[in-house]
Structure 1
Amino acid sequence: MMVYLVPASAGSGIPETKAFLNGIRIPDIQSLSTLTAKVFGTIFAVAAGLPVGKYGPMIHIGSIVAACTSRRARLIRPVDRLLEAARVFSNHSERRDLVVAGAAAGVTAAFAAPIGGLLLAWEEGSSYWSLKVTWRVFFCATGTLLFTYLLAGSRMGPAGASLVDPSYMQSYAGSFSTGIRVANEDLLLFVGMGVLGGILGAAFNALHWHMSRLRHSYVCTWPRRLMEVLGVTVVVSTVGFLASFLSESWACRPVPPAEPSLYEDAAYVVPYLDKLLPLTCAPGHYNEVASLYLNDGVSALRLLFHLPRLNLSDDKPMFSLYALALFAGPYFLFLVLAFGVSVPSGFFVPQLLLGAALGRMAGQVVVVFGHPTYLGQVRVFAIMGSAAFVGGITRMVPSMTVIMLEATGNLFFLLPFALVLLSAHWVGDLFTPSIYDMIIEIKGYPFLRPDPPKWALAQLRARDLMTPQVVSLRPIETVKRVQEVLCTTGHNMFPLLYPSSHPTRSGALFGTIMRETLVVLLQAANFSSTASVNNDPDNPELASPVLDFAQLLESAARLSSRVIAQPVIPLTPEDESKWMDLRPYSNPSVYFVTEDSSVTKVYRLFRGLGLRHLLVLNIERDVCGVIARHDLMPNSMESKLRKIKSCKNASKAHWTLPKGIQGRKEKAAGDFVKEKERGKAPMETGGRGA
């Protein structure tokens, strides 16, 4: 179902959500079918034993719910108050803020971390942020946490009272004792772990890049994608079981006594002893490797986080270096293989699990070298190892710090988490981009980074970036022309220009109209009654009937991405000769720049407002070009700059200075030459000319 019917549901969906909030429209990524496939596909993928989790898809699910809510709100029939709500949702910026809140709600439902959800939405999601968005997102995250506790974490208390179950508030990491402390000299060790986490995270991202190229070349049809999923599932299950079974000779250990009085923080240790799996070991014993491989991800993670270093039954480590190495090595390769297969899945918990195993290995090594601090605190290394590995892959610092802090519930971890994640971020960025940015680049989404390339700021202007061939319509246009434009172009916006016959404003900009609006008008046959109309834009009389606003919203909400891209609307020759009055549906408040505008201004407009296109006007205020998102990609700007430099007659001043300044300099130089010929030129000084 995931591979063949709904390919858009594959993966975690976080890069696609991030791309949408950046202003990119991706077909079917926020449809109801994708939501259904995402929910059931994640359940089946986790149950199949793949090294995947459900937390990443929760972010995508939250954004889909928000997007579907926005679209369905536009289907409301015209009741005064409800119609006003529908008008709010019809605004693209409002819908984008709603999707940001939905993504934060998904984080909150997954991690029980409302502040972390707010910060993740700010750090990885929205390109534009304001105080209003902050309040909306926080309100949504808080409401999500409340309803999650009430629905999934409640139990019946005395006298029938419904109480919140404290065990649910432990999230994936479980609760931690507040008695765990971190010494000052240990912070340097955590920074070193962050450096190693950044290196391993960069290695993981680089391997994923090469795996994605191989998948693009060899796993390009749905039968091959299906076989890849089956193959990865068989390999992971077989290797995990064989490693657990073949290690029985040395991995069977006695289960520690479940006596609370033997542990300093028994409430945080004893509940997890039941997760130790015996496999084929004798009664009262557990298999170290099987307890890591054959447990679900959350249970294995809690074992590494909470069990003490030493087993009280034999005074040996609960998990030996051999068991941890036998788990961590193959599991790293499993993550590389599974990350990118065509199943709805997240990898946050598997990354935490691998990082915890590596961190616990580091703690064991520190103890071997005689560091006295960690005789009972090896689990702190497991926690920091998780943060280091996740930070090295995702490069999220503020949000991941708060998410980990809220998950562990121990305020003393704040500084160690921050140091680990910062060092992992800095080291990882030296080698590769973050995993989400890499996926966006692999899939070719025109994603705009926070700032444009510095080399393009002083060397390019809007005229250098724009496409001069603009497909336009008239405010009152023939049906045949509208259908021809929709069928022959893929543009999402069309400028409306005054006709050439207009006495005073020939070719001037009237406004813009969206593609989906034109499709709705064609489907509704919103044409003039005759083929003879007055097509003067200044004519106060309407040339065709006006579609009701609520009906327009309802019809636009029902359009699929495929219909908008390739509309099939049969028209008779009589219909083609009729006219459509586009003035009531046009947007007169158009965002535009002049051809001398800087790259910085263009870039900020696109990123801050989530634009997909921007009109360029010349000095006469006529439309001379249009800039799309792909025109702002670094490779596109580099090729245009190279083309400008290769012009034989172009000097550096010609393509670095705005047209107006260049003209004034040329005029000043001409006046200086004339004055000099007359013997009236001013004496040169040591300063620069104007």
Structure 2
Amino acid sequence: MDVFVDNFTEAHRWIYDLADSHVLLQYLAWVAYSMFLMCFAAGFANIVSIQAAGSGIPEMKTCLRGVMLQEYLTFKTLVSKVISLICVLGSELPVGKEGPFVHIGSMCAALLCKFMSLFSGIYKVLENFIIARNKEMMTVGCAVGIGCCFASPIGGALFSLEVTSMFFVARNYWRGFLSATFGAFIFRLLPVWNRQEDTLMALYATKYRLDFPFDLQELPVFAVMGIVCGFGGAFFVYLYGKITLFVKKQKATNSFLMKNCFLYSALVSVLISTLTFPLGFGQFMAGQLTQRESLISFFDHRTWSNHGIVADFDNDDHLAAWKHPQANVFVILSIFVIMKVNKHTDTQFSLLFIFSYDDSQIKGNAYVCVLGAAFGRLVGEGLATLFPDGFNMDGHVYHITPGVYAVVGAAALTAGVTHTISTGVIMMELTGQINYALPILISVILSNMISQSLQPSIYDKVIRIKKLPYLPMLSWGHRDKYNIHVGDFMKREVRYITLNSTYRDIFKILGSGNLKTLPLVKSTESMLLLGSVERAQLLALLKQRSQHLRKENAPTMPISYKVHFQIEEWEEQQLDEQVNFNNCKIDPAPFQLVERTSLHKTHTMFSVLNLDYAYVTSIGRLVGVVSLKELCKAIEGSLPADGVRLRPILATFRDRGVRGSWTETTELRKLLDHQIKKQTEKMKSSSIITTILGEMCTFY
């Protein structure tokens, strides 16, 4: 993929250089090329597979949660994703490929599982085994996607652990590392085979000093950068959410864009290309550089400025793009940061409709990484100007390296947007620098602390906007998670079937909703939960009953019943017969909760076991049900005013040591009294029998 993207970029530069005799022709060549690739990507994705839209990470979190999205992991989606991504990256739009690579890796894993299932033999029957193995493979695919994208096997495995799942299965740990290591090795080995590099190196190899990496006086600066990047990451996510919701509310605009997606893509592509035109405003922000070239220049170990004036570099060097005769380095970097934020806004508006007409977006960490690196470079150049003599340690002078601040800024801002710690590990592997682990981790941790307390991660934000079935995390300040119980937010009106249910009852229940499973109770009076039955089993039961009746009773039916409406009347009469559950698969142990289970414990069990619902019982009796929807509402605090029973003051002290409610205690006491009464009667009957036997023995 990188080969095709590089070829597209070189072709763009070649066409631009052909028109060097006229500024207008250069502008048209610069804009038309990007516009063509963008329109082609939009059309190809909409025609082949609309599921290729979006980053991929939010949807993968949903799939690993247990909800498989329709046609999201198919081969045609893979083809659509790869080709559209190549065109978008080749158009030099400010997007990244990390999220799409996670989706691509997961699709490859899912297709490989589907292929290997042809040779699985006996395991074809074990559906649960196949589902569990597919989830494990998709988790490994996420690690491979990040590992191949950054040549970062350790960071890729850790990133997939942090982002894709709330609880990670330990047995997938070594599988993720093994696959990510092998993928990163092949990715970096190919340039050596093609004689592009001499040996295996880091993707963004740097030349920082090793004898004295940083001074202790610089650690507070790194910490402040982490705090600022935390606020910046939260603002980035906030801006993304506001723009997306604003676009979704414009119904007239949405209907227009659904009919003219190519026109909209072309307009936004022209706008962004105009901003980056090298002879226009792009000369103040190195518009001719790609994101990769910008990162290489930001991570450079040399100092760009001498008292604000850009140093002289070779014309072939990427650093020459940051030199302007009418502006110093601080003005150029400030304009670059501001315009990157503005371009994010423009790109956000465009990518909402490039591939589909919902709130999908190709979002990658590379764009945020470049923005953070620019901020870090600005801070580093400022310190290098304030302290031109550097630090004097034991008679040796150590100058400030602005490239280190760019690395720290890139890691911190990316961590603030994604809420991950592994971005620091990725940056260390990306640059080949382990000596700066301490400042990188300090800034990343502080950025995470600030951003997590203000906004959700960019992936959780997309999940909320798209309303995907995913369980949100409990916030740090969610103190009511121990005071709110299942009985406060469960659904008490439960649809169920009994052992005495008729075929008509099952037919009505199945027609009243789309429930995947139904609880089976002993009777309406007792409500004792016996198990659960899947919807497919009940439909098969109805179909089997209908075929059986028509086959056996049709020959013995009266002639008058041969009339069509009379046949229907006869079938209606047969629906009142009692259901025979002998040929139906019943789950005898569905997951159950009690009314006093806390919100925190319920959230933990739903997250660990990937539950979609759980029945609420009281001494075996079915009293309610909790689904993912009710649990999300309880977590987000969107319950109605009377949905939560507020506990009175000092209730905690009064109820200390009491584990059950008054109702449950009464029911338990009744059950205990009933058992004692039965034991007493049994003992009385046994004593009477013993007395009679004794008398008989005495008589004989």
Q: Structure 1-normalised TM-score?
A: 0.72
Name the structure 1 match of 2:607. Answer: 607
User: Which position in structure 1 is the counterpart of 2:559?
Assistant: none
**1:268 corresponds to:** none
Query: Aligned letter for 1:327?
Result: F
**Aligned residues of 1:205 and 1:435 also touching (Cα < 8 A):** yes
- The structure having more radius of gyration, on CA atoms, is 2
Tell me which moved more, 326-335 or 452-461. 452-461
What is the Cα deviation at residue 392 of structure 1? 2.4
Are 1:230 and 2:274 matched, yes or no? no
Identity level (%)? 22
Render the CA deviation track for 1:443-477: whole Å, top value 9, x for unaligned.
22353344477443444332322212223346898
Pair 1:49 & 2:92 matched: yes
Distance 1:368 1:62 in 2: 45
1:481, CA displacement in angstroms?
Answer: 6.1
1:16 pairs with 2:36: no
CA contact (8 A) 1:526 1:580 kept: no
Kindly indicate whether residue 628 of structure 2 is the aligned counterpart of residue 629 of structure 1.
yes
Give 1:398-547 correspondences, 5 Å limit: 399-451=422-474, 454-473=478-497, 485-498=509-522, 507-515=527-535, 521=540, 529-531=547-549
Equivalent-residue separation in structure 1 for 2:647 and 2:201 (angstroms)? 69
Question: Residue type matched to 1:50 in 2?
Answer: L
Cα separation, 1, equivalents of 2:501 and 2:187: 53
Q: Which residue number in structure 2 is paired with residue 551 of structure 1?
A: none
Residue 126 of structure 1 corresponds to which residue in structure 2?
Answer: 165
Q: Where do 1:571-582 residues align within 5 Å?
A: none
Q: Does 1:304 align with 2:298?
A: yes
SS in 2 for 1:627: strand
Distance in 2 (alpha carbons) for counterparts of 1:211 and 1:643: 34
For the 8 Å contact 1:359–1:386, the answer to whether it is kept is yes
Find out whether 1:348 has 2:342 as its counterpart: no
1:345 counterpart letter in structure 2: I
For residues 71 and 479 of structure 1, the distance between their equivalents in structure 2, rounded to whole angstroms, comes to 37
Q: Tell me whether 1:334 sits opposite 2:343 in the alignment.
A: yes
Q: Which structure features the higher share of helix residues?
A: 2
Conservation of the 8 A alpha-carbon contact between 1:202 and 1:432: yes
* Counterparts of 1:224 and 1:660, CA distance in 2: 60
Distance 2:310 2:290 in 1: 26
- Name the CA shift for 1:595/1:8 in 2 (closer, same or farther; >3 Å): same
1:196 to 213, 217, 228: 228
Q: CA deviation at 1:21?
A: 2.8
The AA in structure 2 aligned to 1:531 is: L
Instruction: Supply the distance in 2 between the matched residues of 1:424 and 1:334 (Cα, whole angstroms).
Output: 23
Deviation at 1:411, TM superposition (A): 0.9
Can you list the C-alpha shifts for 1:506-558, whole angstroms capped at 9, x where unaligned? 75434324446667x489x655752399xxxxxxxxxxxxxxxxxxxxxxxxx
* Counterparts of 2:529 and 2:634, CA distance in 1: 31
In 1, distance between residues paired with 2:362 and 2:412? 21
CA contact (8 A) 1:306 1:379 kept: yes
Number of equivalences: 570
Cα distance change of structure 1 residues 647 and 355 upon mapping to structure 2, 3 Å threshold: closer
Q: CA-to-partner distance for each residue in 1:559-588, whole Å, 9 max, x for gaps?
A: xxxxxxxxxxxx999999687868554332
Residue 41 of structure 1 deviates from its aligned partner by 1.8
646-655 vs 184-193, which moves further? 646-655
CA distance in structure 1 between the aligned counterparts of 2:128 and 2:668, rounded to whole angstroms = 52
Q: Which residues of 2 match residues 311-330 of structure 1 at below 5 A?
A: 315-316=311-312, 318=319, 319=322, 320-330=329-339
SS of corresponding position for 1:170: coil
> Deviation per CA, 1:287-337, whole angstroms, max 9, x where unpaired?
x74xx3223211221122126224899845853223323322212211233
Q: 1:59 aligns with which of 102, 116, 123?
A: 102
Give the Cα separation in 1 of the matches to 2:668 and 2:531. Answer: 36
Partner residue of 1:155? 193
The question of whether the paired residues in 2 share the 8 Å contact of 1:388 and 1:420 is answered with yes
Distance 1:414 1:205, change over 3 A: same
Q: Residue in 2 aligned with 1:99?
A: 138
SS in 1 for 2:161: helix
Equivalent AA in structure 2 for residue 58 of structure 1: F
Query: Is the alpha carbon distance of 1:198 and 1:485 closer, same or farther for their aligned partners in structure 2, counting shifts above 3 Å?
Result: same
Change over 3 Å in CA distance of 1:386–1:149 after alignment to 2: closer
TM-score (norm 2): 0.71
User: Once the 2 structures are TM-superposed, how far is the Cα of residue 608 of structure 1 from its aligned partner?
Assistant: 0.8
Q: Does 1:140 align with 2:140?
A: no
Contact persistence 2:484–2:644 (CA under 8 A) = no
Task: Give per-residue Cα distances to partners, 1:395-417, cap 9 Å, x unaligned.
Answer: 212x1111111111111121111
CA shift for structure 1 position 211? 0.3
Q: Provide the rounded CA distance (Å) in 1 between the counterparts of 2:230 and 2:264.
A: 29
1:387-398 correspondence to structure 2 within 5 Å: 387-397=411-421
8 Å contact 2:192–2:199 — kept in the other structure? no
Q: Secondary structure at the match of 2:549?
A: coil
Deviations 1:652-686 (A, max 9, x none): 79999765456659999xxxxxxxxxxxxxxxxxx
Secondary structure at the aligned position of 1:491 is classed as coil
1:195 touches 1:424 (CA, 8 Å); kept in 2? yes
Q: RMSD between aligned alpha carbons? A: 4.2
Question: Which stretch of structure 1 is more off in the superposition, 226-235 or 7-16?
Answer: 226-235
Query: For residues 400 and 628 of structure 1, what CA distance do their matches in structure 2 show?
Result: 34
Amino acid at match of 2:341: F
Alignment partners' CA distance in 2, 1:146 and 1:82: 33
Per the alignment, residue 16 of structure 2 pairs with none
**Contact in 2 for aligned 1:62/1:103 (Cα 8 Å):** yes
Higher relative contact order (CA 8 A, sep 6+): 1
- 2:151 touches 2:188 (CA, 8 Å); kept in 1? no
What residue identity is the alignment partner of 1:330? M
Q: Identify the residue that residue 277 of structure 1 maps to in structure 2.
A: none
Question: For residue 596 of structure 1, what is the aligned residue in structure 2?
Answer: 596
1:204-283 correspondence runs (5 A): 204-218=236-250, 219-221=253-255, 222-223=258-259, 226-241=262-277, 244-246=278-280
5+ residue gaps, structure 1: 158-163, 252-287, 534-570, 669-690
472-481 or 584-593: which moved more?
A: 472-481
Give the secondary-structure state (helix, strand or coil) at the position aligned to 1:44: helix
Q: CA deviation at 1:118?
A: 1.9
The alignment partner of 2:642 has SS state of helix
Report Cα offsets for 1:257-300 as digits up to 9, x if no partner.
xxxxxxxxxxxxxxxxxxxxxxxxxxxxxxx74xx322321122
Q: How does 1:61-100 map to 2 (within 5 A)?
A: 61-71=104-114, 76=118, 82-84=121-123, 87=126, 90=129, 92-100=131-139
CA contact (8 A) 2:496 2:520 kept: yes
Cα pair 1:8 1:34 within 8 Å, conserved:
yes
Aligned to 2:352, the other structure's residue is in SS state coil
Q: Which residue of 2 aligns with 1:259?
A: none
AA aligned opposite 1:349: A
CA–CA distance in 1 between the matches of 2:499 and 2:143?
A: 41
Structure-2 separation of matches of 1:138 and 1:212: 36
Distance 2:600 2:536 in 1: 30
Partner deviation per Cα, 1:586-618 (whole Å, 9 max, x = no partner)? 332321122333333322211111100111122
